[in-house]
Amino acid sequence: MTGAVITAWSAISACGIGAAAHRVAYGDPARRLRPTAVGEPVPAEAHVAADFDVTEALGPKGTSSMDRCSGLAVAAAADLLAPGERPQGHFGCIQRNQSAPGGIAPPSGIGVVLGTTSGSAQTQFDFTRESQTRSKPYRVNPALMPFALMNSAAGQTAIWHGLTGPNTTIAGGRMSGLSTLRYGARLLATGRADAVLCGAVEEYGPARQRLADQRKPDDADGRPLGEGGAVLLLEPAAHAPAGHVDPDRTDANRTDTDRTDANRPGGRVPLAELLGIDTRVAVDDDPAAALEVCIRRTLDRAGAAASDVRTVAVSGPPGPLAGAERDAVARTLAHADVRDPGEIIGDTGAATGPFQVTLLLDRPGLALTTAVDEDGTVGCGLLRVP
Amino acid sequence: MVVTGVGVVSSIGTGADAYARGLREGRSGARPIEAFDTTGFAHATGCEVVGFDPELWLRRVPVAEAGRATQFAIASARMALDDAGIGEDGLRDRRGLVSVGTTDGGSDDGERLAASFVHDGPAAADPAAARRVPASRLATGVARDLGLADVEVSTIATACAAGNYAIGGGVDAIRTGEADYALCGGADALCRMTFTGFYRLGAVDPDRCRPFDVDRHGIHTGEGGAVLLLEPLDDALARGARIYAEVLGYGLNCDAHHQVAPHGESVARCMALALDDAGISPGDVDLISAHGTGTKANDVTECGAIHSVFGADGDVPPTVSVKSMLGHTMGAASALGAVACALGIDGGFIPPTINHTETDPECAVDCVPNTAVDAELGVVANNALAFGGNNAVLVLGRPA
Amino acid sequence: MNVDESAGAPAVTNPVVRERAGEIKALVCRVLETEPDAVGLEDRFVDDLGADSMKLIELLSHLEIEFDVEIDEDELDRLVHLRGVYDVLGDVVGA
């Protein structure tokens, strides 16, 4: 038991913007979009988040140099913090960036934990290209630099929404979903945050496509890349009991009067309880066996039988690793229904993990999410959907 | 919870003993940068690690599969275990955590790939280098090289505060009982992109890195790695381990204000959170290992925050910047700072702030200029700030 | 946006800067993320238009790139409004 529950989610991908658009595509294969040709300069097919434009979503101020990773994160988070409020046609953010006058935001108690592979590959590439091709190597756009850092998406999410809680970026690759949920649950357990936005984003661009192509030169039949981000709202179970609002969770009982109501989620009905997470490193290069150990141990710790798990979402890594992941699942959870977000939205890299979770929330019972990364890490997370 | 082993790769010394000597002597790691082509820059001094041989440290992970930052992380972790007198076999049946903080991860390989693409086109592909780019390789590399299967690994990419973030992650995993030990710290390799960015922002000192000095002009980019072995006190006592320091607590927060400019009020809040977590008051703190980058903005803002937490001038403990010696080693910086604190507590000394001539009245701290001093240190706070407004403060104390 | 932008700026004597005044203003607006109508000749970037020091370094960098000139960082003290930008460029362009 991690003591944490997922109470809301939001996502942006080729399926569209917001949870509702994703539920539609998840539920009806006929509504799923084919990958589109992305052409020059790297000919490929990809599932791009075509409905999402950073400036359109967030407005012109603070976005002229913003990468799509950061834009996706800020926009996806907005949905969880101010549902239904999108003034000026935007996502309804408190834009506390660059030019914001006055002091800092009051302590919000809301943390942000986002996963990544290596940040915005496109920003990093563009920055290097400028430096390599201009008359002086420092004739670069300095505004790109903070966006080139891997913590940009998490930092921007905090800046735009005034979230002063712990703000952590985990470069977990395909393990990001599990890593951010475990880290977030621990922030709740240790009292460092009252609620945590856990998720990951992955942009599509020629720089990422080139890196993917180079990493797997022999994987010509590989799955198209996908773009998107998914963010889960994680809260302590005690704060969000199923079906009713905890009377203790009222403003009068809060000692910290600085906290703003607008940013505090409250009284949400849990969508899933996070029962446990386990990860391992396949040091003997047998990821299937390592994942099998994780799955069995996670079920044991939760006192659950393999036959209780009704649904599994796999991470679908490139190449033979996908087979290893499926093998481990088949050996342990032969009767479960297996789902794979990559079949719907393409390979969204670090964002695969949170997308996997969003695929499991429609079916009551135990559900398992698995992950296998090219770096040799494997793991799983067990959820109970009410 | 206690620190029972430390491992360091740095420009002023590799290994706990050499690093401690470098700190005591106030050695400077600054030299002309050779890690990348600096043609066209008016100045390019950095703190580069020279003579590092990855073959000496990597046993299971092939050197060609490990980027330079990963190599630093693996070497630091091996040294920390050697230092603690624990073989990797002794960890196999314990649940552990490996967490490595970084700013650039595999970006040094990424930028070389980008440059070769710009100049030579797609034919210049390098699959091995492309596989070294994902930053998760740093922490996973440590686990793989030590042959540790039952570990939680995470590479924390919270930019220049990542080292303290990673250490904090280890602290919490041990506190909640989810890990029996933690190997945590940070690593970064010199990266042209980072140098270029700071240079363009006017934040690289052409001459010397001189935090808190009235004539300071910015950072020197640096590189290195540092890993600490954390264990519960009882375990350490049971095996008669050498104990460098006790981990008293830490704090995390986010300015939520500006991408690159730190906010003093928020930095002060983070220090207060750390002191609260450690269960101590400001008056208990004997030394602050500051973020102290040497930029105009950082040092004034950070010192202002320190003054607001620690009260009137007389109550502010000595505040030093090891970056004056090491340069800004990015994600490794606060891990190297934390090790410096542990060594200072253990060895009874305060590392100096070198290159110092005249303290900026706007900073107004005793930065222990140029020469280390002997001191009995009870409690030390280690600050870390990052772009994105990410703050993390770690508090270490003398073991009981 | 055209050359008329400098018509009200009698101090702009450098012919290149006069010629490209509209382009310069557009660049300033792009960096400051502001509509051209909002930027008067002596509107202060920081106090009136909400810029910060990061934005000013960004502006300096883009001016260097567009005009292929070197602008000393000390000139940031003069890059405070559009007229200041014209003045600084006037000193380094074609000099």
Quick: pLDDT tens for A196-220: 999 999 999 999 999 998 887 676 6
Mean pLDDT of B157-175: 98
Could C50 and A141 be called an inter-chain contact, meaning their C-beta atoms sit closer than 8 Å? no
Q: Is residue B259 predicted with pLDDT exceeding 60?
A: yes
Query: Tokens 């939680």 label which residue?
Result: B152
In order of A154, A212, B222, B334, the CA distances from B371 in angstroms are 39, 50, 21, 21
**Chain B residue whose CA is closest to C73:** B202
Q: Do A4-263 and A273-385 fold alike per CATH?
A: yes
Mean pLDDT of B221-250: 97
Using only the alpha carbons of chain C, give its radius of gyration. Answer: 12
Is B328 among the residues known to form the active site? Answer: yes
B208 and B268, same domain (yes or no): no
Q: Strands B319-320 and B349-350, how do they pair? A: unpaired
Strand order from edge to edge, sheet including A45-47: A36-37, A45-47, A225-226
Mean pLDDT of B362-376: 97
The dihedral sign for the CA sequence C74, C76, C79, C80: negative
Amino acid code (one letter) for B59: R
Q: Strands A377-385 and A272-281, how do they pair? A: antiparallel
Report yes or no on B139 lying in a domain. Answer: yes
Q: Is residue C1 predicted with pLDDT exceeding 80?
A: no
Distance in angstroms (rounded) separating the CA atoms of residues B272 and B266: 10
DSSP assignment, residue A269? P
- Chain C residues lying within 8 Å of B260, measured CB to CB: 54
Amino acid code (one letter) for A103: G
C10: containing domain: 3-90
Percent of chain B with pLDDT over 90: 95
pLDDT at residue number B10: 98
Report yes or no on C26 lying in a domain. Answer: yes
- Chain A residues lying within 8 Å of C54, measured CB to CB: 98, 142-143
Of B47, B209, B220, B291, which one is the catalytic site residue? B291
CA neighbor of A120 nearest in space, from B188, B332, B157, B123? B157
Query: How many domains are there within chain C?
Result: 1
pLDDT at residue number A103: 59
Q: Strands A167-170 and A45-47, how do they pair? A: unpaired
| Other CB atoms within 10 Å distance of the CB of residue B223 | 32
All residues at 6 or more sequence positions from C74 whose CB lies less than 8 Å from its CB, including other chains: none
For A3-44, list the strands marked E by DSSP: 4-13, 16-17, 36-37
pLDDT at residue number A101: 46
B97 and B177, same domain (yes or no): yes
Which backbone phi and psi does B98 adopt, to 5 degrees? -120, 120
Task: Considering only the beta carbons, identify the residue of C52, C68, C70 that sits closest to A98.
Answer: C52
pLDDT at residue number A357: 98
Mean pLDDT of B63-68: 97
B84 and B47, same domain (yes or no): yes
Shortest Cα–Cα distance, B250 to chain C (Å): 30
pLDDT at residue number A253: 32
In a 10 Å sphere around its CB, with 0-12 CB exposed, 13-18 middle and 19+ buried, how is residue A260 labelled? middle
Task: Considering only the beta carbons, identify the residue of A98, A135, A143 that sits closest to C68.
Answer: A135
Using only the alpha carbons of chain B, give its radius of gyration. Answer: 19
**Chain C residue whose CA is closest to B217:** C73
B67 and B104, same domain (yes or no): yes
SS3 C54: helix
CATH number, residue B85: 3.40.47.10
Shortest Cα–Cα distance, A17 to chain B (Å): 25
SS3 A13: strand
Distance in angstroms (rounded) separating the CA atoms of residues A121 and C1: 35
In sequence order, the β-bridge partners of residue B184 are B99, B228
> Hey, which chains touch A, using 3+ CB pairs under 8 Å?
B, C
Q: Is residue C5 predicted with pLDDT exceeding 70?
A: no
pLDDT at residue number C65: 96
Domain stop point among B206, B238, B270: B238
**Chain A residue whose CA is closest to B101:** A170
CA neighbor of A178 nearest in space, from A383, A376, A369, A374? A369
Report yes or no on B45 lying in a domain. Answer: yes
Amino acid code (one letter) for B356: H
Fold designation for A273-385 = Peroxisomal Thiolase; Chain A, domain 1 (3.40.47)
Q: What is the mean pLDDT of chain C?
A: 88
Which backbone phi and psi does B193 adopt, to 5 degrees? -60, -45
Q: Is residue C3 predicted with pLDDT exceeding 70?
A: no
For chain A, list the strands marked E by DSSP: 4-13, 16-17, 36-37, 45-47, 110-115, 167-170, 195-202, 225-226, 228-236, 272-281, 309-313, 337-339, 365-372, 377-385
Report yes or no on B54 lying in a domain. Answer: yes
B33 and B112, same domain (yes or no): yes
Residue B288 in contact with residue B318, Cβ under 8 Å? yes
Shortest Cα–Cα distance, A131 to chain B (Å): 8
DSSP assignment, residue C21? H
Domain stop point among B179, B207, B238: B238
CA neighbor of A351 nearest in space, from A66, A115, A138? A115
The 10s digit of each residue's pLDDT in A12-44 is 999 999 999 999 999 988 888 888 888 776 778
Query: Tokens 């990860």 label which residue?
Result: A279
pLDDT at residue number A266: 54
SS3 A108: coil
For A237-339, list the strands marked E by DSSP: 272-281, 309-313, 337-339
Could C58 and A141 be called an inter-chain contact, meaning their C-beta atoms sit closer than 8 Å? yes
Q: Classify A4-263 by CATH class.
A: alpha beta
- Chain A residues lying within 8 Å of C52, measured CB to CB: 98-99
All residues at 6 or more sequence positions from A238 whose CB lies less than 8 Å from its CB, including other chains: A3, A246, A248
Percent of chain C with pLDDT over 70: 87
Contact status of A206 with chain B (Cβ, < 8 Å): no
The dihedral sign for the CA sequence A354, A360, A366, A370: negative
Contact status of C69 with chain A (Cβ, < 8 Å): no
Report yes or no on B337 lying in a domain. Answer: yes
Which backbone phi and psi does B349 adopt, to 5 degrees? -150, 160
The dihedral sign for the CA sequence A119, A123, A127, A128: positive
All residues at 6 or more sequence positions from A124 whose CB lies less than 8 Å from its CB, including other chains: A118, A148, A207, B107, B110, B111, B114, B193
pLDDT at residue number A82: 59
The 10s digit of each residue's pLDDT in B48-65 is 999 999 999 999 999 999
B146 and B291, same domain (yes or no): no
CATH number, residue C14: 1.10.1200.10
> Hey, which chains touch B, using 3+ CB pairs under 8 Å?
A, C
Mean pLDDT of B123-142: 94
- Chain C residues lying within 8 Å of B258, measured CB to CB: 52, 54
Percent of chain B with pLDDT over 70: 99
The full set of domain ranges for chain A reads: 4-263, 273-385
The dihedral sign for the CA sequence A337, A338, A341, A346: negative
DSSP assignment, residue A89? G
Could C57 and B258 be called an inter-chain contact, meaning their C-beta atoms sit closer than 8 Å? no
Helix axes A287-302, A321-332, angle to 10 degrees: 40
B213 and B315, same domain (yes or no): no
Distance in angstroms (rounded) separating the CA atoms of residues B367 and B316: 11
CA neighbor of B83 nearest in space, from B295, B230, B285, B293? B230
CA neighbor of C31 nearest in space, from C8, C64, C3, C77? C64
Q: Of A262 and B192, which is predicted with more confidence?
A: B192
Report yes or no on C95 lying in a domain. Answer: no
B308 and B182, same domain (yes or no): no
ipTM for the assembly: 0.98
Could A64 and C61 be called an inter-chain contact, meaning their C-beta atoms sit closer than 8 Å? no
Q: Which residues in chain A come in under a pLDDT of 50?
A: 83-101, 241-265
- Chain C residues lying within 8 Å of B261, measured CB to CB: 52-54
Using only the alpha carbons of chain A, give its radius of gyration. Answer: 20
The 10s digit of each residue's pLDDT in A44-79 is 899 999 999 999 888 888 898 999 999 999 999 988
pLDDT at residue number A268: 83
B259 and B226, same domain (yes or no): no
In this complex, how many residue pairs, one in chain B and one in chain C, have their CB atoms less than 8 Å apart? 14
B63 and B168, same domain (yes or no): yes
Sequence-separated contacts (24+) of B47-51 with Cβ below 8 Å: B47/B11, B47/B12, B47/B209, B47/B220, B47/B221, B47/B222, B47/B223, B47/B224, B47/B325, B47/B326, B47/B327, B47/B329, B48/B11, B48/B190, B48/B222, B48/B223, B49/B9, B49/B10, B49/B11, B49/B14, B49/B223, B49/B224, B50/B11
The 10s digit of each residue's pLDDT in B12-29 is 999 999 999 999 999 999
Residue B376 in contact with residue B390, Cβ under 8 Å? no
Query: How many domains are there within chain B?
Result: 2
B367: containing domain: 249-397
CA neighbor of A117 nearest in space, from A172, A199, A182? A172
Report yes or no on B244 lying in a domain. Answer: no
Report yes or no on B268 lying in a domain. Answer: yes
Could C52 and B258 be called an inter-chain contact, meaning their C-beta atoms sit closer than 8 Å? yes
Distance in angstroms (rounded) separating the CA atoms of residues A195 and A13: 24
Distance in angstroms (rounded) separating the CA atoms of residues B140 and B158: 17
CA neighbor of B168 nearest in space, from B73, B344, B176, A164? B176
Domain stop point among B188, B203, B238: B238
Report yes or no on C59 lying in a domain. Answer: yes
Q: Residue A41: is the preceding peptide bond cis (ω within 30°)?
A: yes
The 10s digit of each residue's pLDDT in B75-89 is 999 999 999 999 888
Report yes or no on B101 lying in a domain. Answer: yes
DSSP assignment, residue C44? -
